[in-house]
Amino acid sequence: MRIRRFAAAAATVAVGALVLSGCAAPQSEIVEGSSLSVAWNQPFYSYNDLTSFGNATANANITYSTNSRFNFYDDTPKLIQDTSFGTYEKVSDDPLVVKYTIADGVKWSDGTAVDAADLLLNWVSLSGAENTPDFDSTQFTNPDTGEFTPDFPTDVVFFDSGADPTTGPGLVSKLPEVSDDKKSITMTWDAPFVDWELSFTTAGLPAHVVAQQALGIEDPQEAKDALVAAITDNDAASMAKIANFWNTGFNFTEMPSDTSLVVSNGPYTITNFVADQYITLTANENYVGDHKPQVAEITVRFITDPLAAVQALQNGEVQVISPQATADVSDALAALDVTVVGGYEGTYEHIDLQFDQSKSGHFNNPLIREAFMKVIPRQEIVDKLIVPIQADAVTRDSQVFLPGAEGYDDSAKANGSADYADVDIAGATALLAEAGVTNPEVCMLFSSTNPRRANEFLLIQQSGALAGFNVTDCSSPDWGGLLGTPSAYDASLFGWQSTSLGVTNGPPPTFNSKGINNLNFYSNPDMDKLTDQLGKEFDLDKQIEIQKKIDKLLWEDFYGVTIFQFPAVTAFDQTKIANIAPSTLSPTIFWNVWEWSPVSE
């Protein structure tokens, strides 16, 4: 086993640290006939990872590989602009005005040009500027799948992007200006936003495909023109159809018969997809950017069991794996002649408690939420499941700060997490008595195919029983799509993966009442004010102070608990593939997929 280690995330990820570079990757040539297989632990299920349903790493890995962006993070991590796809220019600071321009010759994989129509669709979907006011989509969510129900109203405009008019792209409420050559849009922000550079990074979904499907128009250019007209004129009837298709039309779990649903503008395009088995990416013949790939075909195999992934690597069925780290995985990899990259990921394990939409209804009561937090054996989980892999592993004691980052230590001391350092059965029992409940049921959602989470659940179940909690197994292979589903569960056990270094990467989308990652229906007006304030604060010291207040308020509200920072493990067969360099940020191993290089025999 060849071992390489990358620095712990805390050493490389500084809050709000953005480093720009104009560098482009060197041009490469596709090695004809080359192929590679990589294992991932969850099946792909949506080509739109911008919705609350599709927002998952398993989807983002694929959409990242198949689509280009104005900027991306490397493994340092540094923010790099891809000018071969397009450019952005800050025209004005007050008001904040930004112009986005698609580069010459950029096309979708079906040959249709990428242009302002795509950017305009991306704006209207991410901003929610034309959404029907006060519409509540939660009553039209299937509790078994997390998808919208067939009776979703057809007369409302609702893009399921978590748009909030007080933060992010939601601050662009005015219709952007489209250039005469239809390659640029200029967006004027209602207020300053510190992470504007990270808020609009792709062309989004193909406008011509969305309009063709939603409006029944065959010709791609006519479809784009109709979509632009619908947005420009705020045509509610057409926009309702467009939004509905944008929300649901790209959800599929096998290769769609209509291949227009998989058009891409990046290095790869989806060419095959077998449910629960694999998805195949093939080099995009119409790609003209700087990130031309070297591997002709990549197959992402869905292997949910970490040890099965190691076995597949040993057998040569896959050449790259990045499974969830366990002691058994580490031992199994030690016996193989492969390169292993370890360290810490930008992902942390946590438990969120449902608020007014909990399945049992118990967690509407803060006393019961507090009682349950007291029985979660955070330290035992770390000692038994993580320390055998990472000897220096400790509990993560902040909902906001990355361990090692500036502000973490001070916040952890003052945020109230110390009250949950040890299990307190007596305290939990007293709180349940005060609440007037006995043996409350807690339905816990987690991945049914994840052995480490199954072990965590058992430890939580055993500890909870000592205080009278009946913690039940509500695990599912489709857990990701169920996270934002009303009344589907009481508590969820999963990991959040950081996608950027932006100061607003976590708190606003996760803890704001309107945030796309607010999956447990948490709502506190004070929190909304703090998250809104954070996005408009450019002073680093003041950002940290706001984050400390956010962190403390979450523990005071009995939001849930953090448990540990993920230990990382990526393994690959160095005799078959080169240039594997995992990043702490999503999409981890896939960030430089175009640089992956087959090794000659």
Q: What is the spatial distance between Cα 59 and Cα 275, in angstroms, rounded to a whole number?
A: 14
Above 90 in pLDDT, residue 22?
A: no
pTM, rounded to two decimals = 0.90
Above 50 in pLDDT, residue 3?
A: no
pLDDT at 143: 86
Residue burial 492-501, b: 16+ Cβ < 10 Å; e: rest: bbbbbbbbbb
Q: What is the spatial distance between Cα 185 and Cα 120, in angstroms, rounded to a whole number?
A: 7
Above 50 in pLDDT, residue 25?
A: no
Other CB atoms within a 10 A radius of the CB of residue 434 amount to 13
Q: Over the stretch 401-441, which tens digit does the pLDDT of each residue have? A: 999 889 999 999 999 999 999 999 999 999 999 999 999 99
Which tokens in the block code for residue 548? 């400390």
The 3-state secondary structure of 286-343 reads CCCCCCCCCEEEEEEEECCCHHHHHHHHHCCCCCEECCCCCHHHHHHHHCCCCEEEEE
Beta bridge partners of 39: 301, 321
Place of tokens 């590679």: 36
Which of 16-30, 529-543, 544-558 shows the lowest per-residue confidence on average (mean pLDDT)? 16-30
Above 60 in pLDDT, residue 528?
A: yes
- Name the residue among 539, 448, 542 with its Cα closest to residue 489: 448
Q: Is 31 exposed, middle or buried (0-12, 13-18, 19+ CB in 10 A)?
A: middle
**Amino acid in position 134:** D
Task: Give, as one character, the DSSP assignment of residue 127.
Answer: H
Which of 6-20, 79-93, 147-161, 298-312 shows the lowest per-residue confidence on average (mean pLDDT)? 6-20
Q: Over the stretch 313-343, which tens digit does the pLDDT of each residue have? A: 999 999 999 999 999 999 999 999 999 998 8
The 3-state secondary structure of 406-420 reads CCHHHHHHHCCHHHH
pLDDT at 599: 92
5 pLDDT band (50/70/90 cuts)? very low
Other CB atoms within a 10 A radius of the CB of residue 324 amount to 22
Percent helix / strand / coil, the chain, rounded to 5 = 35, 20, 45
Are 565 and 9 spatial neighbours (Cβ–Cβ below 8 Å)? yes
pLDDT at 33: 94
pLDDT, average across residues 280-299: 97
Q: Would you state the CATH architecture of domain 69-261?
A: Alpha-Beta Complex (3.90)
Q: What is the spatial distance between Cα 562 and Cα 378, in angstroms, rounded to a whole number?
A: 8
Q: What is the spatial distance between Cα 219 and Cα 242, in angstroms, rounded to a whole number?
A: 16
- Name the residue among 294, 293, 288, 292 with its Cα closest to residue 86: 288
Q: What residues contact 489, with CB distance under 8 A and at least 6 apart?
A: 354, 358, 359, 443, 444, 445, 474, 482
* 405 vs 71: which has the higher pLDDT: 71
Q: Is 322 exposed, middle or buried (0-12, 13-18, 19+ CB in 10 A)?
A: buried
- Name the residue among 11, 12, 10, 18 with its Cα closest to residue 503: 18
Q: With pLDDT > 90 as the criterion, what percentage of the chain qualifies?
A: 88
Angle between helix axes 451-465 and 366-375 (nearest 10 degrees) is: 110
pLDDT, average across residues 160-183: 95
130 pLDDT band (50/70/90 cuts)? very high
pLDDT at 144: 86
Above 60 in pLDDT, residue 20?
A: no
- C-alpha 338: how far from chain center: 29
pLDDT at 601: 63
Q: Over the stretch 61-70, which tens digit does the pLDDT of each residue have? A: 999 999 999 9
> Quick one: CA dihedral 70, 108, 262, 590, positive or negative?
negative
User: How does the average pLDDT of the chain come out, rounded?
Assistant: 93
- Name the residue among 495, 507, 479 with its Cα closest to residue 568: 495
Q: Over the stretch 339-395, which tens digit does the pLDDT of each residue have? A: 999 888 889 999 999 998 899 999 999 999 999 999 999 999 999 999 999 999 999
Which tokens in the block code for residue 585? 């940020």
First to last CA, the chain: 20
pLDDT at 28: 67
pLDDT, average across residues 231-260: 97
Are 582 and 568 spatial neighbours (Cβ–Cβ below 8 Å)? yes
pLDDT at 32: 93
pLDDT at 548: 98
Are 114 and 138 spatial neighbours (Cβ–Cβ below 8 Å)? no
Q: What residues contact 76, with CB distance under 8 A and at least 6 apart?
A: 12, 19
Q: What is the spatial distance between Cα 245 and Cα 148, in angstroms, rounded to a whole number?
A: 11
Q: Which fold has domain 349-566?
A: Dipeptide-binding Protein; domain 3 (3.10.105)
Q: What is the spatial distance between Cα 353 and Cα 357, in angstroms, rounded to a whole number?
A: 10
Q: What residues contact 463, with CB distance under 8 A and at least 6 apart?
A: 375, 376, 377, 380, 423, 425
Other CB atoms within a 10 A radius of the CB of residue 126 amount to 22
Q: Over the stretch 473-518, which tens digit does the pLDDT of each residue have? A: 999 998 988 998 999 999 999 999 888 999 998 899 999 998 889 9
Place of tokens 């009344």: 487
Q: What is the spatial distance between Cα 526 and Cα 521, in angstroms, rounded to a whole number?
A: 15
Above 60 in pLDDT, residue 8?
A: no
- Name the residue among 118, 109, 117, 107 with its Cα closest to residue 85: 107
Above 50 in pLDDT, residue 10?
A: no
Q: Provide CATH 3.10.105.10 ranges for the chain.
A: 349-566
The 3-state secondary structure of 477-488 reads CCHHHHCCCCCC
Q: With pLDDT > 70 as the criterion, what percentage of the chain qualifies?
A: 95
- C-alpha 241: how far from chain center: 26
Q: Provide CATH 3.90.76.10 ranges for the chain.
A: 69-261
